[in-house]
Amino acid sequence: MRITRTLFASLITVAALGMAACAPAGSGADSSSGSLSFSLNTDPATFDPSQLRGSDDFTVSRFLYDTLLHGDEDNTFAAGLASDWETIDAANYVFTIRDGAVCGDGTPITPTIVANSLARFADPETASTGRSLAFGDATATFTPDDEAGTVTVALSTGWSDFLSGMALPHAGIVCPAGLEDLDGLAAGTVEGAFSGPYTLTSSTPAVSYELTLRDGYDTWPEYATPLTGTPATEITLRPITDYTTIATQLIAGDLDVGVVSDENVTRFDGNDGFSVVDSVNTTTYLQFNEREGATFADQPELRRAVAQVVDAAVFSDISTDGRGEAILSVSAPSVACVNTDASLIPAIDEAAAAELLDGVKIRIVGTTLLSAGNEYVAEVLRNAGADVTVDSLDNASWSTLTSAGGTDWDINVQGDQNVLGTLTSSLLRVMGPASEDGGRNKGAAVNEEGYAALQSAMLSDNPDDVCGYMQTAQETFLERTDAVPLSTIPASNVVRDGVQVRVINNYLEPATIRFSE
């Protein structure tokens, strides 16, 4: 029996069929040699799936490691390393491991190998940023049966997003060679660690990462709509921090797949050489550092004052060239159970805010991909009399800083890529365990009422009750002003003719990339 209580949304295939011959002479896609190129925003911070933090880490990990499950269309899952699965209740699950799966060094992937990898992921000492998404606060016991080909999972407390957690890139199965060399695992130098379709064959930071399809690999996800086309034998991942450069390289034929999130997407209007599909799984919001000794700790009125000068619609226009929309929570409007009550958002009141913000020193951090928005937030706070500094960092540096704990920042302009596709994923950014304790809560806000409501939602099988609990959780963080909702950040997935890749749950799924038939 397969229980599919997940919020994975529809699937779209970005494909261009039969027009590869029309690609420009410099086309990166070369089906005769099986090579194609794919853009990253920055260098991956790690190749250890348990330690993934940013969107580029997620992308690379999808190529290198298999997961038990994959998100699929119509609110279901696709078989990954698990050929079948059973949900007994919210705390107990059984997975049947597919026959024929092998590691990068040829080691057969047994239930014991799967259990050992997942036990490390679930161990609080591993401090995985995906742990709270997959397990909540529960401890997890994994019992393999190599003879029966199964892994039985028992959670100490029910967590109804567990199956979604087993589709996270953080839950990628690490083979024994990787677990025996954790430094090499993080560096990507242990070929035998990989369970996915590709191995990392070379890496030059800031230049490129070369992936090679494993000989004989045949355990692709079993989607409801089967994969078609031919997988690339070689994939080059190129870190490019500027959307203008990504668009230029796509048009010049130096890239085959790229993501463009600003006005550069208009350069592909009417260009039959590309397919463009928008996805919205990234939202932005201000997050306050509430650790002891930080400027905004125990200062809800000061946090509210910030909300009274930052106009979400203006931020959206500046950050997305008008392509995004203001939001009323920390997730996109399309996510189930998201708040729709605008009265919970403080109204703009610059005069009232200035009375509290005048002379307050505020350090803002954010990613370079939101530089214009970061500067807007800094400017309106300066206009209110605050003494503001702002640092826009590359994705890896920003993620490391804001997840490390400490009081080196006051406001984080959070760009939140919702890889789980559920409200839970984003709510855990503003409540629950702090990031330095293995959670996702970067600001370390202590919101016991909100977190209790979230946990109740994860124990309920009634959709109406779930949304009721979720609304309570949202009301608490909004009333406390632990975060200030800003806007969605649409991403335009640009794909050259002759290449196809699927967008699942508003997330471009790297492992589905193929040459079109």
**Tens digit of each residue's pLDDT (9 = 90 or more) over 112-137:** 999 999 999 999 999 898 898 899 88
What pLDDT sits at residue 395?
82
- Residue 26, pLDDT above cutoff 70: no
Residue 257, strand partner residues: 38, 495
* Sequence-ordered strand ranges (E) for 351-504: 361-367, 387-393, 411-417, 483-488, 491-496, 499-504
pTM: 0.81
How far is 258 from 255, CA to CA, in rounded Å? 7
How far is 432 from 453, CA to CA, in rounded Å? 11
Structure tokens, 417: 């890529």
More confident residue, 194 or 416: 194
Look at residues 298, 324, 285 and name the one whose alpha carbon lies nearest to residue 442: 285
Helices (H), 26-141: 55-64, 111-122, 131-135
Displacement of CA 2 from its chain's centroid (Å): 25
pLDDT digits (tens, 9 = 90+) for 238-257: 999 888 999 999 999 999 99
H or E segment at 314?
Answer: helix 312-320
Note whether 121 and 76 are same-domain residues. Answer: yes
Look at residues 335, 333, 304, 303 and name the one whose alpha carbon lies nearest to residue 316: 333
Note whether 242 and 202 are same-domain residues. Answer: yes
Range of the domain at 474: 282-488
Are 66 and 78 in contact by the 8 Å Cβ rule? The answer is no
Are 297 and 291 in contact by the 8 Å Cβ rule? The answer is yes
Note whether 479 and 507 are same-domain residues. Answer: no
What pLDDT sits at residue 14?
53
Question: Cβ contacts of residue 489 below 8 Å, gap of 6+?
Answer: 261, 280, 282, 283, 284, 319, 320, 324, 370, 415
Residue 286, strand partner residues: 413, 484
Note whether 374 and 498 are same-domain residues. Answer: no
The CB density around residue 18, as the number of other CB atoms within 10 Å, is: 10
pLDDT digits (tens, 9 = 90+) for 317-370: 999 888 899 999 999 998 889 999 999 999 999 999 999 999 999 999 999 989
Question: Cβ contacts of residue 204 below 8 Å, gap of 6+?
Answer: none
Crossing angle of helices 463-480 and 448-459, in 10° steps, is: 170
Residue 499 falls inside a structural domain: yes
Note whether 217 and 289 are same-domain residues. Answer: no
Note whether 53 and 99 are same-domain residues. Answer: yes
Most confidently modeled of 19-33, 109-123, 425-439? 109-123
The CB density around residue 99, as the number of other CB atoms within 10 Å, is: 10
3-class secondary structure, 50: helix
What pLDDT sits at residue 193?
98
Give the type of residue at 108.
Answer: P
Residue 3 falls inside a structural domain: no
Residue 4 falls inside a structural domain: no
How far is 254 from 262, CA to CA, in rounded Å? 20
How far is 21 from 5, CA to CA, in rounded Å? 43
Note whether 296 and 241 are same-domain residues. Answer: no
Question: Cβ contacts of residue 292 below 8 Å, gap of 6+?
Answer: none
Question: Cβ contacts of residue 160 below 8 Å, gap of 6+?
Answer: 5, 90, 457, 458, 459, 460, 461
Note whether 378 and 473 are same-domain residues. Answer: yes
Displacement of CA 175 from its chain's centroid (Å): 23
Displacement of CA 52 from its chain's centroid (Å): 9
Burial tier of 369 (Cβ tally within 10 Å: 0-12, 13-18, 19+): buried
Residue 2 falls inside a structural domain: no
How far is 30 from 499, CA to CA, in rounded Å? 10
> At 424, is the pLDDT very low, low, confident or very high (cuts 50, 70, 90)?
very high
Interval 170-174 mean pLDDT: 97
3-class secondary structure, 209: strand
What pLDDT sits at residue 3?
35
Strand order in the sheet with 387-393: 387-393, 361-367, 411-417, 282-288, 483-488
How far is 427 from 411, CA to CA, in rounded Å? 17
3-class secondary structure, 332: coil
- Residue 420, pLDDT above cutoff 90: no
Note whether 373 and 426 are same-domain residues. Answer: yes
Note whether 122 and 261 are same-domain residues. Answer: yes
Give the type of residue at 266.
Answer: T
- Residue 20, pLDDT above cutoff 50: no
Note whether 20 and 116 are same-domain residues. Answer: yes
Taken in order 55, 133, 121, 227, the sign of the CA dihedral is negative
Residue 380 falls inside a structural domain: yes
**φ, ψ (nearest 5 deg) of residue 277:** -130, 125
- Residue 32, pLDDT above cutoff 70: no
Looking at the chain, the number of H-run helices and the number of E-run strands are 15, 21
Torsion angle, alpha carbons of 392, 397, 399, 401, to 10: -90
Residue 269 falls inside a structural domain: yes
Region label for 8, one of left (φ > 0), alpha (ψ between -120 and 50) or beta (otherwise): beta
Interval 194-220 mean pLDDT: 95
Structure tokens, 257: 């797949």
The CATH number of the domain holding residue 294 is 3.10.105.10
Residue 234 falls inside a structural domain: yes
Interstrand relation of 411-417 and 361-367 (parallel, antiparallel or unpaired): parallel
Q: What total of structural domains would you count in the chain?
A: 2
Look at residues 185, 253, 297, 197 and name the one whose alpha carbon lies nearest to residue 37: 253
**Residues shown for the chain:** 517
Residue 93 falls inside a structural domain: yes
Interval 260-283 mean pLDDT: 88
Average pLDDT, the chain: 90
How far is 248 from 494, CA to CA, in rounded Å? 12
Question: Cβ contacts of residue 317 below 8 Å, gap of 6+?
Answer: none
Note whether 313 and 251 are same-domain residues. Answer: no
How far is 119 from 121, CA to CA, in rounded Å? 5
The CATH number of the domain holding residue 24 is 3.40.190.10
